Amino acid sequence: MWGKVKDGVSEMSGFETIDVFVSEANGVAVVSVTGEVDPFSAPQLKRAVASAIQPAVCEVALDLAGVSFIDARGLDSVNEAGASVRESGRLFSITRRSLAVVRIEQLMAAIGQCGSDHPDGPPAIKAS
């Protein structure tokens, strides 16, 4: 069950957009994502997070350090995945974020679309 989840080939785009690797140690499942999180790959991300919800797991940690691109739909999928983990009675966290993830979180927070259910609150917005 644990290991590489690789089915991000989009029927519409014809190319792979993300790789997901799930590992578990000491009750914490880590879902590491690399690539582009967009409408084509969002379902794969949610499936991988759902697969991490196992009886021995008390926390699911999402590692987004390898994400090179994420759009609003991708961010929605992260929020939806986190909600499903919390609904299962487990903790959900985002352990690392790439610059692409930080930028979309900041943009969405600035327009009031992100941050209300983020475990750390909305990200800081720096004035330019």
Q: Could you list the pLDDT tens digit for every one of the 128 residues in the chain?
A: 344 444 443 344 445 589 999 999 999 999 999 999 998 999 999 999 999 999 999 999 999 999 999 998 999 999 999 999 999 999 999 999 999 999 998 888 888 765 544 444 444 433 33
Q: What is the pTM of this model?
A: 0.76
CATH class, domain 3-110, is alpha beta
Strand pairing category for 18-25 and 59-70: unpaired
Domain ranges of the chain: 3-110
**Exposed/middle/buried for residue 99 (C-beta within 10 Å: 0-12, 13-18, 19+):** exposed
